[in-house]
Every structure is written in C-alpha cells, then in structure tokens.
Amino acid sequence: MTVGTTLPLLKDPQMQFGATTFFAKQHKGDTCGSNGLPLTPNSIIIVGRAQTLKTINCPYLCQYLDFIRGKHERTIVVSQYCGTPLAELIEKRRFEPEEIVQIAYQILEGLKVLHGRKIVHRTLSNDNILLQSSGDVKLFNYGLFHMSKFGSLVSFPVFQVLYTAPEVFLNGINRLSSDPKCDIWSLGVCLAELALNKVLWSSLKLGQKIRKILSMLQVNGSILEKIAREHNSYEQYLEMPEDLKEIIEECLNVLPSHRPTCDLLLKKPCFQQFKAKEGEGFRKICPPFEIFTIHELYHWWQLAGGDVLLELKKQGLIRSSPPILSLPSLVLIEGVVLGQDRNPATLYDPRIAQMPLDALYQRFAHIPFPVFYPLIHSKSEIIADADPPPYDATALPLVIKEKDPEYQLHRVILLRRLLHGYPFTKDFIVEQSAKDIPPLLRGEIWAALLNIQADYETTYTRIDKVTHTTTDRQIEVDIPRCHQYNELLSSADGHKKLKRILKAWVYQNSQYVYWQGLDSLTAPFLYLNFNDEGKAFACLSAFVPKFLHNFFLKDNSVVIEEYLCKFSQLIAFHDPDLANHLHEINFYPQLFAIPWFLTLFSHVFPLYKILHLWDRLLLCDSSFPIHIGLSVLTQLRDRLLTSGFNECILLFSDLPEVDIEKCVLLSTSTYQNTPRSVTSREHENGKFHKKDELDIVGLKLEELKKERCPRISANDVVNFVRNRPNDVLLIDIRNPTMYSRCSVMGSINIPFSSVSFSDNIIDNIGLHSAALKSKGHKVVVVIGDADTDLETFPTFLLQCNISKVCVLHGGFNRLLSVTPTVLTSNNAM
C-alpha cells in the first residue's frame, strides 16, 4: 500500500454489497383493523422486523445494511455480498475434506449466532453460502424467514425445496414458527453436495423433489449412503473421512429431536483446531478497531450518488409492466377479482444485483491516506504543516454538508474514533458536535452528549415493562398517533418498542407521571436507537432531568407557568416591539407554547427537523428551548406584528413551515447574548445550575408573573462591570442623594421620581434619554433598592421599545458585599 492513495484500502474485496427484492403480501379487501385504524402495510412491518438484522456482526455472516420500501409493497434488502456461491463451484472443482470441515465449522458458527438470537435461516443452501478468496465462507440472505415473520408477510414460500428438512413439509409450510433444527438438516444437504461434489437431483421436477425428501423418512440406514448411491457416488461415500461422514449423517437425521444443535456439533474434535486459531484473533475482550465499516461505506456510496432502486431497474430486477396487462377480467360487487393473472413479480426472485462501487472509488481516489488516521489529541506544528489542509465545509449549509460524501467521510472517520474513546474523549465529542453531527453516528453521539454509561442495558433489562398499569390505555391510544409517517415508528415492532420504553420510564420515575407528549419526546431517541431500546431509554432518562426537570410531575402547573413567564420575559428582553404587540392583543404563551416546551418541539416538528434542533439543544442548558421558542416567533414576526389575536392563534394551531437551520442560528445567537441569570428559574434542576447568594434565588411565581422584564443576578452585573463595561448600561433609579453617596462604577442616575410615565415617550426621562436611544446592543440594567418601584420603570422602558432591559435582583444593596468592590463612593463609608 503506498502512502498517498486510499483506494486499496477502500477496495477491500469483502467491502461489497448487493440487493435483492421481493413483494410483501398485499392486504385483501378490508383495510381497517379492529380499532378502526388502517392496517399497517406488510412491507412496513417487514422493515420494522428486519432492523435487528443490521446489528448482527459475525465474520461468517454477510452484514445487512438497509431495507427500503418501493411502490406497491415492494421491499428491497441491501446486504454485504462478496465471494462466490458454493453452488457455482460444485462439480467444477474439488473440495478437499479438510476444506469441507472448515466450511462446516464456519457455517455452524454463523448459524449459532442466528439461533442465539432466535432467528432461523430456513433457506440455507449452497446458493447462499459465499466462498471468499481467503477461503472463508459467509452466509447470505439468512434473514428472509425472520423479516417475513416466518413467511407470513410474503406470498411466496420461504424455503429451498431441496435443502428443506422433511418435518417442514409434514408440519405444513405455513406454520408460524420454526425449529432451528431445520437449518441443521439443510447444512447436512449442503455438506453432502460438497463431499460428493454433485448437484443433487438436478434433473427432478419440483413435486418429485418434495417426494424425494419425504421418502427419506422411510430410510432405515444412512441417508447419506442412500444419497451417494442414487448419485453413483458410493465410492466417494466410502472414501469420505469418518469425522466428516459423521457430521453429515448426524445432520441428516429425520427426527428433529435427535438432530444435534449447533453447539453440540461444534464440540466435535475435528473443529477444535479452528477454535484455537480464533482465540488468537478476534475473540479478544475488545473488538479490534475497524478503519471504516461496511455500513459507512454504504452510507458514503449513497451520498456519492449510489441509488439501489435505480441499480435494480438497470439490472432488470425491477421491471414495470403496463397497468393494462394487470386488469382482471371480472370484478364482483363484493370486490372479488377473477381472471387476473398472478404477477410473476410476486414470486420469489433469487437474483442479486451487485452494487457498482466505481463512482465512489473515483470520488475518493484523491483522498490522502492520513485521513483515515486522524490525529486527535495533539498535533505538533510540524505535523500540522505537513498535513494536507483539512477539508473545509464549515461555511456550507447543513443540508449540503450532510450530503457531501467527502465531508461525511472525514466526519465519520473522526467521530467514530472519538466515540471509541468515550467517555475519555467526551470533551472532544462536544467540541466536534458544535460543528455538526454526522447523521450516521447521531444515535451514538447523542448518547455520549447525554453521558450515557456502559451499563445502561442492565438497568433497562431489570425494569418491569410488562405489568399492566392505569397509564396503559393512554399510551396505547397515543402510540398510533405518534410520528406515524415514519416507517420505523409506524411498524409493529416500533409500536411495541415505544410502548415498552414508555412503560419503563413511568415505572422508573415514580415521582413523575405519563403526560401526553412524552411519546413524541421519546420518538427521536427510539428512531435513532431502533435496535437498542436500552440506549433509547437511557437517553430519555438522561434528557428529562437535564431539560425538563419536574415537567412531568402530576401537578406541574407552577413549573410550566414559571417557564412560560420566562419565555415572555425573554421575548421582551430581545424584541420589545413584538412583546408589546403580543401583550396588547392578550396573546399569551399559555395558549400556544405548552406543547412546544413540554415536548421540546418534538410534537410540533417532523423528525428530521427535531434531529437538527436537538443536535444543538444537547450542547446547551435547559434555558435553550425558550430561545428556540423566540426564534420561531422571530421567523413569523412580520405576520404576528400585523395580526390580531385570532390570526395569531390560528398561525400556531397549524404552524407554517419553519426553517430549522435559521432557528438554530437565531436561538444560538440569543442564547450566547443573554446573561445566564436572565433566564434562570426557581424550578430548574439544581444539579445542573449551581447557585449562590449573588444569584437569583427565592423569586416567587406571583412576583415573577407581575414582572414583564426579567431580573439579572448580581453575579452577572459584577461580571459586566469588571469584564465587559462597554456592553452594559447601568441605570440607577434611586434618589440622587443616595446615588451620589455610593454607586456602581459607570452607572448613570435617573431618579425614579423624576420621570413622568404618562406617555410611552423615552424623552420623558430627560437628560439621559440619548444614552438609551443610542445604546445599541447594550444590556440595560435597572438598579434600585427596597424603596423604589421596580416594575414601573423597566416596563416603561419596554413600552418605549428599549431592548435588553433587566432589573438587578436584590437591588443595590446586594452589591455591597461584593469584593473587590464594584462601587465608587464619594464620602468615606
């Protein structure tokens, strides 16, 4: 491998994939279930069931990559596909007994993984055992029986006649379950073909083949011997080494109960040599770090223009026929259709379309080798200079960045490495997430941002998710209404998972109760961790205390009211015009913003928008949502300003298109430009917001509700005076005597008593009105004391459309104790 090009790395022969396609069974006639809801299309159920297959990672199994729904219940399965099917080699080359034993071992290891997950292959045959150039084998298409719910969701039989165990026929092929032992029989047939080097009964017709298999039930002696004799291979049978013969004969036992399991077979002495070898390799405590995974390659391939559907059409696996050809001859009034030829496409199509990777190779040809080995911790200047300049896409819009294959290559390589080092690398992950989060790794990155620990799975397993509770009805009626446009969430498996997670959450949080909306809040986590319920649950469990502390109390009214008050105050702080207008028309957040904050917009926006919004939210604190709320109002500002109450409320009942990237930008900007204490709340989680006596504590809701401008803490004011005096305008409204005795450095004095509040005219305050008019972005802090009215003056400023007005909490006296002092005094104290 030469330094400088990465192609040999990418062109790994095992890093190839292909697609197969079939039709799910269409629902007949009645399309409504017993609850009055439409039946979920079978293809969606399949896609939901199939997800778990993506998590199977075993060197002897091809990895599943994607499941796509096409038109008319078409289902497309994308999976790793590399090597040559054994069926193509039989009778063409010799298989040495040692080689066959190794193949047997690897198939058994693969089957063991499947059976351990209660997945039955059911279609194991030499057509889908792929021999690699390394000599290893990989099973392909082993998930069809599972994803089709034991064949019940498709209209073709899921088995390979010749390889199918006799009991499958005897029990009826439509039985809704299957004993894994049938795979052992199939293995026996596969091995027999290899050992005899004969394609078995190739000349027989379908019915004859079935009869042939059933005839095995009558055989008294060795089935292998009978097969050998029927194929003129008795000699090979005799020459076969005993250990191999024994394996095949045990597999071909007609009684499933007497047929051995994978585990039992793997105990055979002839397999021990392989076990020892593997011990050295990948059975280490920690799996080796992969430079990139086939999932990533598939992702980049798609970004680089790869399109599975298009490829299937190109290669003739998807063909459209003119609709007129599928018209029935007769339709009865009850809807029974007669004389319609069965569409051959509804049968099983064994063809596999290999996906061409050339375009991707070309696209990545120039990428320098070091990109795959990013330096994370420190880079000396020498190295940094020698490196090619980093691929810079920071300035591009988010949607473009997410679709740029090269950028995503960089991001995925870097972030998976960082995730590998989690939790030690948490700070780096935060730093990188602030740029953007690569969609492929979002689930894991979110979990890291939420500090999810490695033991989350045990916790989840231990929780009772089954026992009936009074909340169940509500959860059950909410789930079929929750983000159902999404395939995963609308699938049967999605419903089951969401229900379990919600029940677990209710069980685990006895201080809280289920509020409608919690379903929507959970949806993004389930969507991102569809194959890892425990992690979805852990994320939800970490998310709620951080962002929605006490929102799900049985009586949450004070928490929500305080939150909405702070929202109103934030609007007043940043956008007085809007705040005044909304105030005038009595348009309160209570009327529209409860679903916003209770579900952090997950009930308001579609999933893809929530993901981008939460990408940023997760990096901020619990005040961020009100900044998002403000950013939504800002986007609709012009309409709101010219509308009355009814039009405003209508606007929010059916929220118009909101640009999420703009939301993120706007809310991040106000979030950064708002002193922290302006949004501080009594009811925020003390764990995340530590406070001292110079912060705002003890503010009662009744008081808060009267104040249209927010308060600011002494801590923040001190910080302004010391570090950013040019960003603040301090207005002391005490009487001039007190002001001249002692005042805050740089403050101006506008005695409360000197101002006439009759009209909202800023000039009424006299001399200093100019300072206010030209204040720009400065924060205006009103400082008073116990004797001054702390509502009228700031409200007056607000009504004069002065922005960023806030009131020092605790008044002037709060600053007396601060050392070193921020006060200046004229006479010695």
Partner 1 sequence: MANRSGTAQRPNGQSQGKICQFKLVLLGESAVGKSSLVLRFVKGQFHEYQESTIGAAFLTQTICLDDTTVKFEIWDTAGQERYHSLAPMYYRGAQAAIVVYDITNQDTFGRAKTWVKELQRQASPNIVIALAGNKQDLANKRMVEYEEAQTYAEENGLLFMETSAKTAMNVNDIFLAIAKKLPKNEQNTGQGGSVQGRRLTEGNTEPKTGANCCK
Ligand X SMILES: Nc1nc2c(ncn2[C@@H]2O[C@H](COP(=O)(O)OP(=O)(O)OP(=O)(O)O)[C@@H](O)[C@H]2O)c(=O)[nH]1
Task: Give me the least distance between CB of 87 and partner 1, in Å please.
Answer: 46
Task: Give me the least distance between CB of 336 and ligand X, in Å please.
Answer: 25
Task: Give me the least distance between CB of 466 and partner 1, in Å please.
Answer: 22
d(CA 150, CA 285): 35
Task: Give me the least distance between CB of 501 and ligand X, in Å please.
Answer: 20
Per CB under 8 A, 515 contacts partner 1: yes
Mark the segment that binds partner 1 (CB under 8 A) among 47-55, 125-133, 261-269, 480-488. Answer: 480-488
Task: Give me the least distance between CB of 116 and partner 1, in Å please.
Answer: 36
Q: Which is nearer to partner 1, 603 or 627 (CB)?
A: 603
Per CB under 8 A, 656 contacts partner 1: yes
Task: Give me the least distance between CB of 517 and ligand X, in Å please.
Answer: 10
Contact (CB, 8 A) for 252 and 183: no
Task: Give me the least distance between CB of 657 and partner 1, in Å please.
Answer: 10
Q: Tell me which DSSP letter residue 269 carries.
A: G
Contact (CB, 8 A) for 674 and 711: no
Q: Which is nearer to partner 1, 118 or 554 (CB)?
A: 554
d(CA 566, CA 545): 19
Task: Give me the least distance between CB of 517 and partner 1, in Å please.
Answer: 5
Per CB under 8 A, 586 contacts partner 1: yes
Q: How many residues bind partner 1 (CB under 8 A)?
A: 46
Q: Which is nearer to ligand X, 85 or 480 (CB)?
A: 480
Task: Give me the least distance between CB of 474 and ligand X, in Å please.
Answer: 8
Which of 118, 554, 687, 777 contacts partner 1 by CB under 8 A?
A: 554
What is the bridge-based pairing of β-strands 779-783 and 748-749? unpaired
Mark the segment that binds partner 1 (CB under 8 A) among 16-24, 386-394, 411-419, 557-565. Answer: 557-565
Task: Give me the least distance between CB of 418 and ligand X, in Å please.
Answer: 42
Helices (H), 455-574: 456-462, 472-478, 487-490, 492-508, 518-528, 533-547, 557-574
User: How far, rounded to the nearest angstrom, does the alpha carbon of residue 200 sit from its chain's CA centroid?
Assistant: 47
User: How far, rounded to the nearest angstrom, does the alpha carbon of residue 824 sit from its chain's CA centroid?
Assistant: 56
Q: Which is nearer to partner 1, 651 or 755 (CB)?
A: 651
Q: Which is nearer to ligand X, 36 or 698 (CB)?
A: 36
Task: Give me the least distance between CB of 480 and ligand X, in Å please.
Answer: 6
Task: Give me the least distance between CB of 588 and partner 1, in Å please.
Answer: 7
Q: Is 517 left (phi over 0), alpha (psi -120 to 50) or beta?
A: left
Looking at the DSSP assignment, which residues form a beta bridge with residue 749? 732
Q: Count of CB atoms within 10 A of residue 579's CB? A: 23
Q: How many residues bind ligand X (CB under 6 A)?
A: 5
**Type of residue at 314:** K
Task: Give me the least distance between CB of 601 and ligand X, in Å please.
Answer: 18
Q: Count of CB atoms within 10 A of residue 758's CB? A: 8
Mark the segment that binds partner 1 (CB under 8 A) among 455-463, 496-504, 637-645, 729-737. Answer: 637-645
- CA-based nearest residue to 538, from 459, 592, 600: 459
- CA-based nearest residue to 585, from 647, 651, 644: 644
Per CB under 8 A, 516 contacts partner 1: yes
The residue nearest ligand X at its CB is 36
Per CB under 6 A, 741 contacts ligand X: no
Which of 199, 216, 651, 771 contacts partner 1 by CB under 8 A?
A: 651
- 163 CB-side CA count, 13 A: 25
Interface of this chain with ligand X, residues 482 to 521, rule: CB under 6 A: 516
Interface of this chain with ligand X, residues 416 to 445, rule: CB under 6 A: none
Per CB under 8 A, 383 contacts partner 1: no
Q: Which is nearer to partner 1, 262 or 482 (CB)?
A: 482
Quick one: tokens of 81? 């596909």
d(CA 182, CA 682): 64
- CA-based nearest residue to 699, from 790, 580, 783, 589: 790
Task: Give me the least distance between CB of 485 and ligand X, in Å please.
Answer: 14
Which of 12, 455, 464, 647 contacts partner 1 by CB under 8 A?
A: 647
Task: Give me the least distance between CB of 607 and partner 1, in Å please.
Answer: 13
- CA-based nearest residue to 351, from 50, 42, 127: 127
Interface of this chain with ligand X, residues 515 to 534, rule: CB under 6 A: 516
Site string for ligand X, 32-51 (x = CB under 6 A): ----xx--------------
Per CB under 8 A, 469 contacts partner 1: no
Q: Count of CB atoms within 10 A of residue 638's CB? A: 9
Task: Give me the least distance between CB of 493 and ligand X, in Å please.
Answer: 20
Of partner 1, ligand X, none, which one sits near residue 519, judging by CB under 5 to 8 A according to partner kind?
partner 1
Per CB under 8 A, 348 contacts partner 1: no
d(CA 290, CA 122): 31
Under 8 Å CB-to-CB from 385, ≥6 apart: which residues? none
Per CB under 8 A, 36 contacts partner 1: yes
Q: Which is nearer to partner 1, 220 or 586 (CB)?
A: 586
Contact (CB, 8 A) for 133 and 159: no
Which of 2, 34, 723, 774 contacts partner 1 by CB under 8 A?
A: 34
Q: Is 810 left (phi over 0), alpha (psi -120 to 50) or beta?
A: left
Under 8 Å CB-to-CB from 654, ≥6 apart: which residues? none
Cα separation of the two ends of the chain: 79
Looking at the DSSP assignment, which residues form a beta bridge with residue 69? 75
Q: Count of CB atoms within 10 A of residue 36's CB? A: 6
- CA-based nearest residue to 181, from 113, 258, 243: 258
Q: Which is nearer to ligand X, 289 or 485 (CB)?
A: 485
Contact (CB, 8 A) for 13 and 77: no
Q: Which is nearer to ligand X, 36 or 820 (CB)?
A: 36
SS (H, E, C) 657-719: CCCHHHHHHHHHHHHHCCCHHHHCCCCCCCCCCCCCCCCCCCCCHHHHHHCCCCEECHHHHHH
d(CA 591, CA 560): 12
Of ligand X, partner 1, none, which one sits near residue 238, judging by CB under 5 to 8 A according to partner kind?
none
Which of 30, 96, 381, 555 contacts partner 1 by CB under 8 A?
A: 555
Q: Which is nearer to ligand X, 475 or 765 (CB)?
A: 475
Which of 361, 372, 592, 757 contacts partner 1 by CB under 8 A?
A: 592
Contact (CB, 8 A) for 200 and 193: yes
The phi and psi torsions of 292 (rounded to 5 degrees) equal -150, 160
**Type of residue at 379:** K
Interface of this chain with ligand X, residues 337 to 396, rule: CB under 6 A: none
Per CB under 8 A, 658 contacts partner 1: no
Of ligand X, partner 1, none, which one sits near residue 592, judging by CB under 5 to 8 A according to partner kind?
partner 1
What is the binding site for ligand X (CB under 6 A)?
A: 36-37, 480-481, 516
What is the binding site for partner 1 (CB under 8 A)?
A: 34, 36-38, 474, 477-478, 480-482, 484-485, 490, 513, 515-517, 519, 554-555, 557-558, 561, 585-586, 588, 590-592, 594-595, 598-599, 603, 643-647, 649-654, 656
